[in-house]
Structure 1
Amino acid sequence: MKPTLMLDVDGVLVHSAHAGSWATDIEQDLGIDPQRLAEEFFAQQWPDVIVGKKALMPVLEECLPTLSPDVRPETFIDYWFSRDSTIDDAVLADVSTLRSNGVAVWLTTNQEHMRARYLMETMGLGDHVEGIIYSAALGTKKPERPFFNAAARRTGDALDRHVLVDDSKTNVTAAREAGWHAFHWTRDQSLLRIFDQLG
């Protein structure tokens, strides 16, 4: 029986189009101070958004007027999602090869609902994987143990048949503790070489 690949998104399959953060030019482009964005949105609101306790749009409607009064939530989301959407073609090619050899591939990621849909529909990743398992839908996130247990229930596969590839060492450690195989991703690797190690 083939293992099931649980593939992280950001930092593995998808990257920012700009060096560093997608928000590198946000002050110049939208008039939003990135430090205030980090403090008032990501530090205060994002922890609840990422696990589905709060919806993204209402939170932005509350936050954005203090950050940049003329920027609508839709404009901010379009800016963010479009600049954080460069697919790694080599990784995607390996995904295709693995699937053609009978490996089920799931995106396994900390995301809120709108970007999860953007990844699968607008970016078209839904055509290349079995599905997406993400934090806002589960109500828990990596590296928490309930995330891994819920993800395994979703695939229906045994814990030790899951193989996480993730750029976070913390997530890799947590996955192993949950009974999964897990590999820390760096840009000089390939998914095919990782699967070769599994024998």
Structure 2
Amino acid sequence: MIRALMIDVDGVVIRGRPKDGRPWSSRLADDLGLDAEELQREFFRPHWDAVVTGKSTLHDRLAPVLARIASGLSCEDLIAYWFENDARIDRRLLQEIDALRAQGLRACLATNQEHARAAYLMDRLGLAKHFDGIYYSADLGHQKPDAAFFQKVEKAVGIPGECLLLIDDSSANIDAARRMGWKASCWTGEDRLAELVAI
């Protein structure tokens, strides 16, 4: 019997830019003068693993990169642009989560995030009103699909894996959760949560 939902953020609760659902960096060059591929190459590929697992902060890794590739752009301005443009919330999904929580089911976020965006999601975007908590990689020190991520979440939530249902859009994460004994379902955006819980 499912006792708690573990919901991924990006690709599930959050789906791109608020106005059109496209990736947050789609107009990065036009809006801020920074090439998205260069940002991937110089920041995300070499530094993101350390940031998203809490070994370093977003600001500490991003600031020196920007000083080198976009000296006129502050770290704070880029982060604000990123967070604001990666914030299209699936309101129908939240309504379903609210309904299931009203019936006594717990719902938490289980996501790969660094500290600043995790706080932004819960506080600024208001997801704290719809979830019983958030378990995220920078806080746990491990990211999906690492087995340690699921072990730490399971221990923290205090519910055995066979009673947890992961909703995620990554097949690698789904497979990893199932190997840990969790229930898991790959999110397409077309499903109904109540039906997935009943499976």
TM-score range, shorter chain: over 0.9
SS at match of 2:26: coil
- C-alpha deviation, 1:20, in angstroms: 3.4
TM norm structure 2? 0.96
Q: Retained in 2: the 8 A contact 1:26–1:33?
A: yes
Q: Distance in 2 between matches of 1:162 and 1:196?
A: 12
- C-alpha deviation, 1:146, in angstroms: 0.4
Q: Which residue of 1 aligns with 2:128?
A: 126
RMSD across aligned positions (CA):
1.0
Query: Does residue 7 of structure 2 align to residue 7 of structure 1?
Result: yes
Structure 1 residues 180 and 2, CA gap change in structure 2 (3 angstroms): closer
- C-alpha deviation, 1:159, in angstroms: 1.4
> Structure 2 matches for 1:42-81, cutoff 5 A?
42-81=44-83
Instruction: State, as a whole percentage, how many aligned pairs show the same letter.
Output: 39
Q: How many residues align?
A: 197
Q: Distance in 2 between matches of 1:170 and 1:2?
A: 21
1:21 pairs, out of 23, 27, 37, with 23
Q: Distance in 1 between matches of 2:62 and 2:82?
A: 12
Which one-letter code corresponds to 1:10 in the other structure? D
Query: Does residue 113 of structure 2 align to residue 111 of structure 1?
Result: yes
Deviations 1:59-104 (A, max 9, x none): 1211111221111111001100000011101100010011001100
4+ residue segments displaced more than 6 Å: none
Q: Retained in 1: the 8 A contact 2:8–2:166?
A: yes
Q: Which residue of 2 aligns with 1:136?
A: 138
- C-alpha deviation, 1:189, in angstroms: 1.1
Which one-letter code corresponds to 1:134 in the other structure? Y
- Any stretches of 5+ residues in structure 2 without a counterpart? none
- Any stretches of 5+ residues in structure 1 without a counterpart? none
Which one-letter code corresponds to 1:82 in the other structure? E
Q: Distance in 1 between matches of 2:37 and 2:89?
A: 27
